[in-house]
């Protein structure tokens, strides 16, 4: 018997959240037409975590303020929030606290948050300009996130850990 849950990814457009979901769900194309922004449609897949099969609905919440009503509806159905920022973008990092966490906590105060740092491969090229692991850990504590996970969508590093922890956060919270 499968258990059902919904994971909602939020963050600025440059947080790489859409690409993360595309890569994990196997919808990732090798190259995009540079004039067309890829959009992730809600996707449902089964995954096994700790010997339990879960049917997971992945939702990519639009970051544009025109879609705030749709995001609010997504938060209300969320079992876990994937709050994303890119280590290459200090503005996406700052938005986690100044915008996204406030919005999530207002509309889904009891839903666990997984804080996700994407684009970690950028650190080797421009370490001083990127958001550090320590800064991410501090932000996790500040916003009360369930977990903080760094990943490289480009190299598929840490991606499985995100979704395993997201599922665990929901069943540990609900004590199935």
Give the model confidence (pLDDT) of 24-71 as tens digits.
Answer: 988 544 444 333 334 445 688 899 999 999 999 999 998 988 888 889
Q: What is the CATH classification number for the domain harbouring 112?
A: 3.40.50.300
Q: How many domains are there within the chain?
A: 1
What region does 39 belong to: left with phi over 0, alpha with psi -120 to 50, or beta? beta
Task: For residue 131, give the DSSP letter.
Answer: P
Concatenate the DSSP letters of all residues of 100-114 into one string: IHHHHHHH-TTS-EE
Angle at CA 135, nearest 5°, toward 131 and 140?
A: 120
What's the mean pLDDT in 95-102? 97
pTM of the predicted model as reported, rounded to 2 decimal places: 0.88
Domain interval for residue 99: 3-174
Dist CA 33 CA 162 (whole Å): 28
* The two structure tokens encoding residue 27: 């919808």
DSSP E strand stretches across the chain: 3-10, 43-49, 52-60, 80-86, 113-118, 147-150
Contact between residue 155 and residue 122 where contact means Cβ atoms under 8 Å apart: no
């Amino acid at each position: 018997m499968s258990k059902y849950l919904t994971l909602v990814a939020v963050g600025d457009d440059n947080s790489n959240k859409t690409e993360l979901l595309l890569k994990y769900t196997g919808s990732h194309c090798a190259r995009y037409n540079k004039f067309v922004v890829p959009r992730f449609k809600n996707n449902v897949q089964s995954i096994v975590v700790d010997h339990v099969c879960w049917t997971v609905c992945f939702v990519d919440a639009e970051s544009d303020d025109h879609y705030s009503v749709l995001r609010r509806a997504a938060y209300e159905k969320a079992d876990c929030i994937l709050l994303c920022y890119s280590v290459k973008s200090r503005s996406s990092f700052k938005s986690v606290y100044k915008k996204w966490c406030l919005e999530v906590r207002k509309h889904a105060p009891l839903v666990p948050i997984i804080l996700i740092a994407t684009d970690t491969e950028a650190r080797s090229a421009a370490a001083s300009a990127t958001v550090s692991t320590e800064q991410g850990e501090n932000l996790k504590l500040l916003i009360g996130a369930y977990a903080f996970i760094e990943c490289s969508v480009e190299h598929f590093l840490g991606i499985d850990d995100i979704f395993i922890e997201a599922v665990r956060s929901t069943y540990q919270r609900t004590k199935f």
